[in-house]
Homo-oligomer: A and B are copies of this chain.
Amino acid sequence: MKASVDTILEQLEQATALEDMQAVAEALRDRFNVSHVVYHWVSSSGEQYGCGTYSIEWVERYLEKEYLRVDPVITGCYNSFHPVDWKQLDWSGKATRQFQKEAIEYGVGRQGYSIPTRGPNGQYALFTVTDDRSDEEWEEFAEANRRSLIIVAHAMNEKALELEPGREGPPITALSPREVDAITCLALGQSRAQAAQKLSISEHTLRVYIESARHKLGALNTTHAVARAMQRGLIVV
């Protein structure tokens, strides 16, 4: 007996831990009659979390090999704000082909459909369903369930943000206006001297802002600080 999507969404609503989301993923797999349902996200600090029906071996291999940097699904969806059929992605390239081969060996379906979602602090998540149907069947499936899948993806996203591990960590502090100015200048490629001139302050003062921002962001150096500020949307470039 398959649960309805609404029932599963209710179940998701009640979730208070990753394990509950795991159960939701399994229920969704049964409901949609696909090989796998996976929800995978990258926190604002770059850590990966996920829940889904992939085998533990594949998950471990994925993390160990840092396939995040190879997986065309990740990079391909990163700029997309719409669902993506894996067939639309670029699977050329040596590392990518090897990755694809391994994925299939580990039981990931040949077909896939991924929906990217975001959080307010640069979190990036993917809700994915995979299967082994034929191209035509898969297209039909994706077309028919597009809306439901989008709704589910966004619901998963809400819950993931709510449960996000590492939330207890250093709070995401806002930067002061001058710090934003300083970091923005640097992100635009200006040297410290140029930035100081642009902001009409001494270079020493500028440095104080950069250092201050760097500490607030928990960044190791200026480049890191700029990257974090951008990722968290603290500056507009």
Contacts of A81 in B (CB 8 A): 81, 117-118
Contacts of A226 in B (CB 8 A): 223, 226-227
Interface residues of A in 23-74 (CB under 8 A from B): 42, 46, 68-69, 74
Residue A219 at the B interface, CB < 8 A?
Answer: yes
- Of A14-22, A104-112, A138-146, A176-184, which stretch is located at the interface? A176-184
Please, what's the 1-or-0 string for A213-237, where 1 marks a CB less than 8 Å from any CB in chain B? Answer: 0000001111110110011110011
Distance of A62 from chain B, by nearest CB (Å): 14
Closest to A121 in B: B79
A236/B42 contact (C-beta < 8 A), A80-B120, A177-B95, A184-B69 known: yes
User: How many copies of this chain are found per oligomer?
Assistant: 2
Residue A189 at the B interface, CB < 8 A?
Answer: yes
Residue A190 at the B interface, CB < 8 A?
Answer: yes
Most buried by B among A122, A233, A236: A236
Q: How far apart are the CA atoms of A74 and B234 in the complex, in Å?
A: 11
Q: How far apart are the CA atoms of A232 and B69 in the complex, in Å?
A: 16
Contacts of A120 in B (CB 8 A): 79-80
Q: Could you tell me the dominant secondary structure of chain A's interface residues?
A: mixed
Contact of A236 among B69, B95, B177, B236 (CB under 8 A): B69
Q: Are B69 and A237 in contact (CB under 8 A)?
A: no
Residue A1 at the B interface, CB < 8 A?
Answer: no
Interface residues of A in 93-126 (CB under 8 A from B): 93, 95, 117-118, 120-122, 124
Q: Are A78 and B233 in contact (CB under 8 A)?
A: yes
Residue A148 at the B interface, CB < 8 A?
Answer: no
Contact of A188 among B74, B224, B233 (CB under 8 A): B224
Contacts of A186 in B (CB 8 A): 223-224
Interface residues of A (CB under 8 A from B): 42, 46, 68-69, 74-75, 78-81, 93, 95, 117-118, 120-122, 124, 177, 180-181, 184, 186-191, 219-224, 226-227, 230-233, 236-237
